[in-house]
Amino acid sequence: MAKLSAIRGFHDSTGDILERIERVEAVARKTLEFACYEPIRLPIVEHSEVFLRGVGHSSDIVQKEMYTFEDASGRSLTLRPEGTAGFIRAYLEHGLYKERPVCKYCYSGPMFRHERPQKGRLRQFHQVGAEAMGVSDPCLDAELITLADRTLRSLGLGEFEIHLNSIGCEACREPFKQDLVAFLQKNCTMLCEDCRQRIVLNPLRVFDCKVCKEAIEKAPVMLEHLCQECLEHFQAVKACLSAFGVDVNINPRIVRGLDYYNRTTFEIYPEEGGAQSVLVAGGRYDGLVETMGGPPTAGIGFALGVERVAERLQQKEKKPDLGVEKPSLAVIALGEQEKPALCRVLTKLWDAGTSAMPVWGPQGLKAKLRFVDKRGFRYALFPSDAGRMILKDMQAGSQSEGPSAETGWIMAHIHTL
């Protein structure tokens, strides 16, 4: 029989790696919920149409990276490649835009993209997302960036850079696009195959290209073509960030090349490692709700890449400090007849809030003790209904005895040591 294995790009996580991943999720969620973002849980699978409309036909995600399949009744479904489109679907479906025109939500969970697996790119990865609806105030843009900054700092990461840009609005982007297209056509021979297609499909996306960096060095940038309102919005975002005490770099190459994105875009990178390892990316999407069938509604959000951030933590943190030892107690039956006593004492310990691991199996006492020791457990308890129970401290090599009917002495013992 062929050996069963996980799909490439889909990982199992345990131990230190999982601990860091869960810590990143927990800290990001706590930071957002502390700032009054309400939690929302969204489906992992949606009708494909949600992403075709909500992410955009011309995006790389929709063109090449979606896990799309037909279910038994022939509907086209897609594993969510990102969180915002599904969120907006829910926002519209439940009429939140009427009921609560101004609202903020946060969520976390797995996303799926069919990319070539490589370092830093998983096919199932996890994000924490924040979305704020109904407010176009530039202070909200600054608030979101500040919350991303606070999340990373609370995790103990300090070496990152926030890159900020504005991609304007429909009014100022159209004339700019013409300028950009003219430049790209003139320099067409220097562009990669993908970017040549982007000239027609989505010219702004050339700024995302890793290959064409030099070729577009002298290309016009949106930041220099903003209309008065967009310029004022951008300046207010910067002023508000400075009041929040958050430093940013202005980077005219941060784009979200879809028409319903507008004004503020931002990305956060590690200081070294650059744009390939984006930790957080976000932006304003005032046109998205309309694109998905709702009324014109301001919106802005970000997504934090959980594995990316967890990996930075790993590079920064040494082995976790085991200085503070938690009490670890294994409970071993000496023979068949002690098993009921083991069940009874275990229940008492768990009821009293003491963590304990029963050790079952036909192995002899020595083998069981070796196993427990290898797992890093310090204490082994041998229950008995008759007479006294024995508690062995494997580190100190000592042992104590107590009455079988009580467990208080066990707790007292392992907690006072």
> Which amino acid is present at 158?
G
| Six token digits for residue 22 | 């869960």
Q: Among 52, 209, 219, 390, which residue interacts with Zn ion (rule: CB under 5 A)? A: 209
Question: How many chain residues touch Zn ion (CB under 5 A)?
Answer: 11
CA-nearest of 299, 309, 264 to 85 is 299
Q: Is 414 exposed, middle or buried, given 0-12, 13-18 or 19+ CB atoms closer than 10 A?
A: buried
Stretch that binds Zn ion, among 79-87, 111-119, 206-214, 276-284 (CB under 5 A): 206-214
Does residue number 372 form part of the binding site for Zn ion (CB under 5 A)? no
CA-nearest of 171, 72, 65, 54 to 124 is 65
Stretch that binds Zn ion, among 141-149, 224-232, 267-275, 302-310 (CB under 5 A): 224-232
Q: Among 26, 188, 211, 405, which residue interacts with Zn ion (rule: CB under 5 A)? A: 211
Most distant CA pair in the chain, distance: 93
Give whichever of 194 and 393 is closer to Zn ion, judged by the CB atom.
Answer: 194
CA 379 to CA 352: how far, in whole Å? 17
The least CB distance from residue 263 to Zn ion, in Å, is 8
| Six token digits for residue 194 | 């993908």
The least CB distance from residue 182 to Zn ion, in Å, is 17
Give whichever of 76 and 185 is closer to Zn ion, judged by the CB atom.
Answer: 185
Q: What residues are paired with 403 via a beta bridge?
A: 388
CA-nearest of 164, 171, 129 to 240 is 164
Does residue number 55 form part of the binding site for Zn ion (CB under 5 A)? no
CA 91 to CA 98: how far, in whole Å? 10
Does residue number 365 form part of the binding site for Zn ion (CB under 5 A)? no
Does residue number 230 form part of the binding site for Zn ion (CB under 5 A)? yes
Stretch that binds Zn ion, among 153-161, 185-193, 286-294, 405-413 (CB under 5 A): 185-193
Stretch that binds Zn ion, among 25-33, 149-157, 207-215, 276-284 (CB under 5 A): 207-215
Stretch that binds Zn ion, among 48-56, 77-85, 93-101, 168-176 (CB under 5 A): 168-176
Does residue number 255 form part of the binding site for Zn ion (CB under 5 A)? no
Q: Among 128, 172, 254, 414, which residue interacts with Zn ion (rule: CB under 5 A)? A: 172
The least CB distance from residue 303 to Zn ion, in Å, is 24
Q: Among 55, 85, 144, 169, which residue interacts with Zn ion (rule: CB under 5 A)? A: 169
CA dihedral 260, 264, 268, 271 (to 10 degrees): 130
Instruction: Please enumerate in sequence order all residues whose Cβ is within 8 A of that of 126, keeping only pairs 6 or more positions apart, or say none.
Output: 21, 25, 108, 109, 110, 111, 305, 306, 307
Does residue number 268 form part of the binding site for Zn ion (CB under 5 A)? no
Query: Do 116 and 133 form a contact (C-beta atoms < 8 A)?
Result: no
Q: Among 17, 227, 357, 390, which residue interacts with Zn ion (rule: CB under 5 A)? A: 227
324 torsion bin: left (phi>0), alpha (psi -120 to 50), beta (else): beta
Instruction: Tell me the CA end-to-end span of the chain in Å, nearest whole number.
Output: 51
Q: Among 144, 162, 195, 306, which residue interacts with Zn ion (rule: CB under 5 A)? A: 195
Please spell the DSSP secondary structure of 201-241, one letter per residue. H-GGGGGG-SS-TTTTTTS--GGGG--HHHHHHHHHHHHHH
Backbone angles phi and psi of 327, in degrees to 5: -60, 130
Cα distances from 412 to residues 315, 328, 380, in angstroms, run: 39, 13, 15
Does residue number 240 form part of the binding site for Zn ion (CB under 5 A)? no
The least CB distance from residue 314 to Zn ion, in Å, is 32
The least CB distance from residue 170 to Zn ion, in Å, is 7
Stretch that binds Zn ion, among 14-22, 229-237, 239-247, 265-273 (CB under 5 A): 229-237
The least CB distance from residue 283 to Zn ion, in Å, is 14
Give whichever of 40 and 209 is closer to Zn ion, judged by the CB atom.
Answer: 209
Q: Among 54, 129, 138, 168, which residue interacts with Zn ion (rule: CB under 5 A)? A: 168
Q: Is 126 helix (H, G, I), strand (E, B) or coil?
A: strand
- Interacting residues with Zn ion (CB under 5 A): 168-169, 171-172, 192, 195, 209, 211-212, 227, 230
